[in-house]
Amino acid sequence: MEIDDLAPSRRSLLKCMAFGGAGTLFVLSGGVPVAIDLASAATAKAVKPLFLQISDTHIGFNKEANPDVAGTLKQTIALVNAMPGKPRFMLHTGDITHLSKPEEFDLAQQLLSTLAIGELHTTPGEHDVTDGPGTEYFARFGKASKGKGYYSFDQDGVHFIALVNVMSFKPGGLGALGTQQLEWLEEDLKGRSSSTPIVVFAHMPLWTIYAPWGWGTGDADQAFFYLKRFGSVTVLNGHIHQIVQKVEGHMTFHTARSTAYPQPTAGTGPGPGPLKVPSEELPKRLGISSVTVTRHPRAAQIADTTLA
Partner 1 sequence: MRLRIFSSALFVSLVLSGLAFGQDPSTVTIENFDFTPMALSVKPGSSVTWTNKDGEPHTVVSEAGLFRSKALDQGDSFTFKFDKPGTYKFLCSIHPQMMGVITVR
Among 5, 68, 106, 131, binds partner 1 (CB under 8 A): 131
Nearest residue (CB) to partner 1, 39 versus 211: 211
- Residue 126 touches partner 1, criterion: CB under 8 A: yes
Among 81, 130, 208, 245, binds partner 1 (CB under 8 A): 130
Contacts of 142 (CB under 8 A, 6+ apart): 148, 149
Separation CA 165–CA 149 (nearest Å) = 10
Nearer to partner 1, 131 or 188 (CB): 131
Among 21, 31, 67, 271, interactor with partner 1 by CB under 8 A = 271
Please compute Rg for the chain using Cα positions: 18
Report the nearest approach of partner 1 to the CB of residue 214 (Å): 5
Q: Rule CB under 8 A: is residue 21 a binding residue for partner 1?
A: no
Query: Which has the closest alpha carbon to 83: 300, 301, 294, 287?
Result: 287
Taking CB under 8 A as the binding criterion, the range among 33-41, 86-94, 111-119, 208-216 that sits at the site for partner 1 is 208-216
142 counts as binding partner 1 under rule CB under 8 A: no
Structural contact between residues 251 and 28, judged by C-beta atoms closer than 8 angstroms: no
**52 or 70: whose CB is closer to partner 1?**
70
Q: How far is the CB of 130 from partner 1 (least distance, A)?
A: 4
Strands (E), the chain: 24-29, 32-37, 51-54, 89-92, 119-122, 151-155, 158-162, 198-201, 233-237, 245-248, 251-255, 287-294, 299-306
Least distance from C-beta 63 to partner 1, angstroms?
A: 4
Judged by CB under 8 A, the stretch of 59-67, 76-84, 185-193, 291-299 that binds partner 1 is 59-67
Give every strand in the sheet of 198-201, ordered side by side: 151-155, 158-162, 198-201, 233-237, 251-255, 245-248
Cα separation, 23 vs 40, whole angstroms: 11
The set of residues, in sequence order, having a beta carbon less than 8 Å from that of 70 and lying 6+ positions away, is 9, 59, 107, 111
**Among 74, 92, 98, 285, which residue sits at the site for partner 1 (rule: CB under 8 A)?**
98
- When binding is defined by CB under 8 A, the residue of 274, 283, 285, 303 that contacts partner 1 is 274
State the Cα–Cα distance between residues 289 and 201, nearest whole angstrom: 13
Closest CA to 108 of 144, 156, 72: 72
Note whether 264 binds partner 1 by CB under 8 A. Answer: no
DSSP lists the bridge partners of residue 59 as 97
Q: Minimum distance between the CB of residue 98 and partner 1, rounded to whole angstroms?
A: 7
Answer yes or no whether residue 216 interacts with partner 1 by CB under 8 A.
Answer: no
Residues that bind partner 1 (CB under 8 A): 63-65, 98-100, 126-127, 130-132, 169-173, 212-214, 270-274
